[in-house]
A and B are shown apart, each in its own frame.
Chain A
Amino acid sequence: MGYPHPIHPKETPVLSTHFGEADARTFDGWVKRGGYAALRKALEMTPEQIVDEVKASGLRGRGGAGFPTGMKWSFMPKDTSRPHYLCCNADESEPGTFKDREIMRWTPHALIEGCIIGGLAIRAETTYIYIRGEFTEPYHVMVKAVAEAYAAGALGANVFGSGKRHDVVIHRGAGAYICGEETALMNSLEGRRGNPRIKPPFPAVAGLFGAPTTINNVETLAAVPHILVRGAAWYAGLTLSSPKSTGTKLISVCGHVQRPGVYEITLGLPMKELIYDLCGGMLPGRTLKAVIPGGSSVPIMTPAEVEECATDYEGIVAKGSMLGSGGMIVMDDTTDLVYQIMRLAKFYAHESCAQCTNCREGTAWTTRILERLLAGEGKASDLDLLLELSEQMTGKTICVLSDSCAAPVVSGIHKFRADFEAYLTGAAVPAMAEV
C-alpha cells in the first residue's frame, strides 16, 4: 500500500498489505494474517525444491543489483562441512530509499519467515540481519519480533518441531552507507572497518567469517513466503511488461510529489502513472524537472524519459537509468539541480571508505568543483573536468560507490547542461558562499 496513504487501485499490495497495522507486528497477529504458513510448507521441502520454486518465480534481488535470487541461492555449496550463513541486508541507506524500513517496522515476521526459508534453501542455520544504526525503531521492532519467534518455536533448535535449527541474530550498524555493499557488510559484521572486499572470492565461496554466505535484501526475503504460499507461477505472472521483471516491487517515492510514500506496484507499471496517479503528481503550480528513479546512485532522468518509461529493470535501463533499489526522487522546477548534485557528491565523499584512490580523492574533488561552481567561481573548463573525473571514477574501483557519485554528475551535465552553464555565465545567482 502507498504507506502512509490508503491503497491506490493501481497498486498490487502483497508485501505492504499490512503496513500500518500494529497488530501485524506480533507473532499471533502475523499468524492470523496467514503468516508462517510458508515456513511450514518450506519445512516439508528440500533445499533444491525451495531454490527451484524461487527460480521459477523470477524473483530478482530488490536491493539494487537485481540479480536472480534463486540463482544466487544455487551458487551455495551443497556440502555443509563448514557452516553456511544467510545475511539479510537491512542497511538501507541509499538516498531516496525507505522501503525496507517499513517492512521491518510493520511486518517483522514476514522478514523473519523469509530468513528461515532462505536459510533452509541455502543450508544455513544462522541468519544475521544487519540493520543500519539509524533505524532505531525498526531495530527495536525486529528485536522484539525475533524474541517472539523464539518463544513460539519458529526459531531455535527445533523450528516448528521439524528438528531443523535456525537462529536469527540482529546486528546493528553504526553509521556507514557503504556497509550496504555486501562485502563491506560482511566486514562490518565481523568487527572490522566496513571496507568492501575484492571479489573473487565470492560470498558463496568465502563470505561471512570465511564461510559460504548468501546476502539478500530485506524486500527480497520478505517476498519469498508469498511465493511459496501462492506459487511461483502466480509471482511470475505478475508483470506488466518484461518477463524478466516479475512480481511486485516496493517503490519509495520522495521529493516534490503530493503523496510521498512507499508504493507497491506490479513491475512494468508506467512511471508516469506512478508519479501522477499513485503519488498525486506535482505540487500545485509546479512541473516535473527530473527523476532519479532507483536511489541516488543511478543516472537522472528527464521528464521526456519518464514519459514513456515502464517501471521495471529493463524499462528504466532503456531510458538510460536503473531501477536500483526503487528509491525514487522526484524533483520539480523549483529544484536547483546543480546544488542537489553537489549534495549527492558530498554524500558520497562523506561515505567513501577511503580504500580506492579514485573514490577517496575523486568524490571529494568532484564536490569541491561543484561547490565552487555554485559559488559563482566556476571555470569554463570545469564541466569537462567533471566529466573526465567521472570517467575515471567509473568502473575503476573495488565497489561502485565512486560510480554512484559519477552517475548523477554525468547525467546531470549531459541532460541539464544549461543549469550548470547558468552558474558559469552568471545567469544564476550563486547558491553558496565562496569556498
Chain B
Amino acid sequence: MSGETAVYEPVFTGAVLAQLEALYPKYPTKQALLLPALWLVQEARGWISDGAMHEVAEKIGLTAAYVRGVVTFYTMYHTHPVGRHFIQVCTTSPCGICGAEDVARALVEQTGCGDLGSTSPDGRFTVIEVECLGACGFATPILVGDDFIESVTVERVSEILARYP
C-alpha cells in the first residue's frame, strides 16, 4: 500500500483514543461512532489507509469490509494520501454559471497539480472538483483543508495559494 509503513502504527492511542472514548456516552450504539472515528483517523493521518480501516473496524466491532463500504460512500474520506493542502472547489451549476470551472482550471494550473484529483509533484497541493459546497451565493467557494474561502475568482487564486506553503 502506498504511503503505509510496513508496520502499522495504531491511531487510537493517547489523546486520539481519549477523544474517541469521550464520544462513547453520546450514542446508544458503538457503531454510531464510525463516522466520528474515521474523522479522527483522517485528522491524525491525513487519509484513511487500509490498516486504519482495520483498526477502526476492530475498535468498533465491525468487519473491515463494512468499514470500507462506509468509507467509500462518503467523498470526504481520503482512501489515498493527498497533498499537504487539500483543495476542494465547487463546480456545481450555481457556481458553474458564475465561473467556477475557470477557478478550478486556475487552481490546477497554479498548484502544478496537472489534473483534477492529482497531487502536485512537491506534495503541497491536491485539487479536486466537488459537488455543491453549500455557499452558492458566494461563488466560487473553495475548501483548503478546513478553511472555507468564499467568492474565489481566477484573479484571487495566486494570493490564496500563497497562504498555504
Contact = CB atoms under 8 A, between A and B. Distances in A.
Nearest to B60: A191
Nearest to B73: A193
A284 to B, nearest CB: 15
Contacts of B97: 255-256, 329, 331, 335, 340
B146 to A, nearest CB: 5
Contacts of A254: 94, 98, 136-137, 139
Interface in B87-122: 88, 91-94, 96-98
A241 B130 CA distance: 38
Contact of B74 (A167, A169, A175, A261): A175
A52 interface: no
Contacts of B134: 92-93, 97-98, 101, 132, 134-135
Contact of A260 (B32, B76, B133, B138): B138
Given A175-B76, A176-B73, A190 B148 contact: no
Contacts of A175: 74-77, 130
B3 interface: no
Contacts of A92: 134
A347 B137 contact: no
Contacts of B26: 167, 169
A172 interface: yes
B27 to A, nearest CB: 7
Interface stretch (B7-15, B33-41, B154-162): B33-41
B136 A97 contact: yes
Given A98-B136, A175-B77, A329 B28 contact: no
B35 A171 contact: yes
A293 interface: no
A83 B94 CA distance: 41
B131 A133 contact: no
A176 B29 contact: no
A351 B62 CA distance: 25
A387 B69 CA distance: 33
Contacts of B32: 189-191, 209
B103 to A, nearest CB: 15
Contact of B27 (A169, A193, A335): A169
Interface residues of B, number: 43
Contacts of A136: 143, 146-148
A246 interface: no
Nearest to B139: A254
A95 B136 contact: yes
| Residue of A98, A260, A350 with most partner-chain B CB within 10 A | A98
A399 interface: no
B39 A174 contact: yes
A96 B94 contact: yes
Given A174-B35, A191-B60, A137 B139 contact: no
A252 interface: yes
A98 B76 contact: no
Contacts of B148: 134-137
A344 interface: yes
B20 interface: no
B73 A194 contact: yes
A13 interface: no
A260 B143 CA distance: 20
Contacts of A137: 148
B152 interface: no
Contacts of B94: 95-96, 254-255, 296, 329
A189 B23 CA distance: 13
A364 B39 CA distance: 29
Nearest to B69: A193
Interface in A299-350: 327, 329, 331, 335, 339-340, 343-344, 347, 350
A199 interface: no
A83 B28 contact: yes
A133 B76 contact: yes
Contact of B132 (A260, A331, A347): A347
Interface string A201-238: 00000000100000000000000000000000000000
Given A95-B94, A191-B62, 12 more contacts: A95-B136, A96-B94, A98-B135, A136-B143, A167-B26, A175-B74, A189-B35, A253-B137, A254-B94, A254-B137, A329-B94, A340-B96
15 contacts: A95-B94, A96-B93, A98-B134, A134-B130, A136-B143, A137-B148, A169-B26, A171-B36, A174-B35, A176-B74, A193-B70, A252-B137, A254-B94, A260-B139, A347-B131
